[in-house]
Amino acid sequence: MAEVLVLVDHTDGGVKKVTAELLTFARRLGEPAAVFVGSGFDTAKESLAQYGATKTYVADGDDLSSYLVAPAAEVLAKLVSDTTPAAVLLASGAEGKEIAGRLAVKTGSGVITDATDVTADGGTITAEQPIFGGSTVVRSTVTTGTPIITVRPNSVAAEPADGAADKVDVSIELSEAAKGARITDRVVEEKGERPELSEAAIVVSGGRGVGSGENFSVIEALADSLGAAVGASRAATDAGWYPHQHQVGQTGKTVSPQLYIAAGISGAIQHRAGMQTSKTIVAINKDPEAPIFELVDFGVVGDLHQVVPALTEKVKARKG
C-alpha cells in the first residue's frame, strides 16, 4: 500500500488535534506516514503513534523553523519525489494552505484546500469541500501529479490506531530561495487555557451586540464554563473590541465546531461564510429578524447581557 504523507501541525512538538484527524483520513487512503518539520519530535512521537503513524519522517534543524513556509514545502517536495506517496494531507490553516500551494507548484501537482471529507475508491482520491460559505458542496479529484489536500479541523472524529511512528531522518539542504523570509520574532498576544479557535469543539462568539471590549468578558466567561474558544464577528474586531486573530467569517477564520454560540451577531453573509458548517448553532440576539435565526438549531430572542451571564452561572452550577 502506498504511503500517505501527513504534515504534523505542532508547536515545539506539541501536536495539534487536527494532526490526529489527518492521520485518521490518511488510513482510509493508504499507509499513514507523518512528516515532522522542526524541533520537538521526541515530545510528539507518542501522540503520532497513538493515531497510527507507521513512521515519521523527521527534518530537524534551526534553519527549518527560522524561515516562513518555504522550508516545509521543500521537505515535502523531497519526500514526494523520494517516496511517491498516494497523497499529501495538511491542516487547512493559513500556513498549511500556503505550504500546500508551494508544494503544488514545486511538484507539478493539483491542490485542493478546505476539504471536509476525503475518500478513496480504487486508486481515486476524492475530496469534498463546502464552498461559497457552505452553500454548495463540491467533490473534486486531483488529475495531475500527487493529490495535495488540506483538510479543515473538526472534519472527522480522530480514531486511535496502533503505529510505531519510528523516526526516519530526512536530511535536506535548504535552497537560498527558501531562506528569503526570516522569522525574527514570535509574539503571543494572549495566553490562556482556551482551545485554539479553528480546532475547538465549542466556539462562543460575540458581535456588535456585545457593545464594548470590556463586555467581551461575558463572552469569555461563557466560553470558559463550556471549555470553548472565543470568536468575534468582523464588526467586533473592526471596532477593536477583540483581537483580529479571533475573527470568524470571510477575511477571518472558518470554523466548524460541534457547537457554535453566536451572541449579539446578526449573521450577515460575511459572518455566515465562516461558521455555517458548524454542527449545532445557537444564537442569542435582541432582534427577532436577525438572519442568524435562519441558521439556528436553538435561538433566544433577548438581551445577551441578561441571557449569557445567566447561562454561564447555570452551566457552572450543572458542572458542579
Tell me how far, at minimum, the Cβ of 300 lies from other proteins, in Å.
4
Contact predicate 226/315, CB 8 Å: yes
Give the residue with the Cβ less far from other proteins, 169 or 182: 182
Q: Is 224 helix (H, G, I), strand (E, B) or coil?
A: helix
Tell me how far, at minimum, the Cβ of 146 lies from other proteins, in Å.
10
Tell me how far, at minimum, the Cβ of 172 lies from other proteins, in Å.
16
Give the residue with the Cβ less far from other proteins, 169 or 288: 288
The pairing of strands 31-37 and 3-7 is parallel
Q: How far apart, in whole angstroms, are the C-alpha atoms of residue 300 and residue 261?
A: 11
Lookup result for grid cell 512528516: 35
Q: How far apart, in whole angstroms, are the C-alpha atoms of residue 78 and residue 58?
A: 12
Give the residue with the Cβ less far from other proteins, 84 or 258: 258
Tell me how far, at minimum, the Cβ of 55 lies from other proteins, in Å.
28
Contact predicate 258/201, CB 8 Å: yes
Q: How far apart, in whole angstroms, are the C-alpha atoms of residue 176 and residue 226?
A: 47
Closest CA to 6 of 27, 33, 28, 37: 33
Give the residue with the Cβ less far from other proteins, 6 or 311: 311
Give the residue with the Cβ less far from other proteins, 164 or 183: 183
Amino acid making up residue 186: R
Tell me how far, at minimum, the Cβ of 157 lies from other proteins, in Å.
14
Q: How far apart, in whole angstroms, are the C-alpha atoms of residue 141 and residue 133?
A: 21
Give the residue with the Cβ less far from other proteins, 61 or 145: 145
Q: How far apart, in whole angstroms, are the C-alpha atoms of residue 197 and residue 65?
A: 23
